[in-house]
Structure 1
Amino acid sequence: MASKKTRPTGRLLTVAQAAERLNTSERYPRRLIEERRITFVKVGRHVRIPESALDEFITAGTVEPVSLRIRGAA
């Protein structure tokens, strides 16, 4: 089965830059990479995270607010 591969777009961020953007320690993006929960690129022995992959990860985790309707309110 051939899977469709998409080319990452935008800058390639280091793990430290990705962690800064997510406002976490470097441990979290490393765990995302290890668990294959985010797209990453290997450049030699270095790991880089495409900016577009980070944007997609953030968008996928975004929860929209719910507006509550109060019963009996006019």
Structure 2
Amino acid sequence: MAGKKIQPAGRLLTVAQAAERLNTSERYPRRLIEERRITFVKLGRHVRIPESALDEFITTGLVKPVRLRMKGAA
């Protein structure tokens, strides 16, 4: 058995719970799973998203504000 085992940290969320946390429909987290853009766990036919993976996904998309200076302002 090559490779190391990764254990998800925190709770395992259903697709519906992940969608609620992202404030979207269930379609969006399912698309993220299908495109392999987020870590997920397969338990039989059920799919769960680790809370830590969802936090990481949100943090990765975080855009910090830019402070603009007005010309001629002191």
Separation (CA, whole Å) in 1 of partners of 2:50 and 2:41: 7
CA shift, 1:71, in A, is: 2.2
Code of the residue aligned with 2:48 in structure 1: it is R
CA shift, 1:4, in A, is: 5.7
TM normalised by structure 1 equals: 0.90
Q: Does residue 11 of structure 2 align to residue 8 of structure 1?
A: no
Deviations 1:11-68 (CA, angstroms, capped at 9, x unpaired) = 0000000000000000000000000000000011100000000000000001000000
Q: Which segments of 5 or more consecutive residues in structure 2 lack a partner in the other structure?
A: none
TM normalised by structure 2 equals: 0.90
Separation (CA, whole Å) in 2 of partners of 1:62 and 1:16: 22
Give the RMSD, CA atoms, in angstroms.
1.5
Paired residues in the alignment total 73
What is the aligned partner in structure 1 of residue 41 from structure 2?
41
What is the aligned partner in structure 2 of residue 23 from structure 1?
23
Code of the residue aligned with 2:71 in structure 1: it is R
CA shift, 1:7, in A, is: 2.1
After superposition, residues 59-74 of structure 1 pair within 5 angstroms as 59-74=59-74
Q: Which segments of 5 or more consecutive residues in structure 1 lack a partner in the other structure?
A: none
What is the aligned partner in structure 2 of residue 32 from structure 1?
32
What is the aligned partner in structure 1 of residue 52 from structure 2?
52
Give SS of 1:49's match: strand
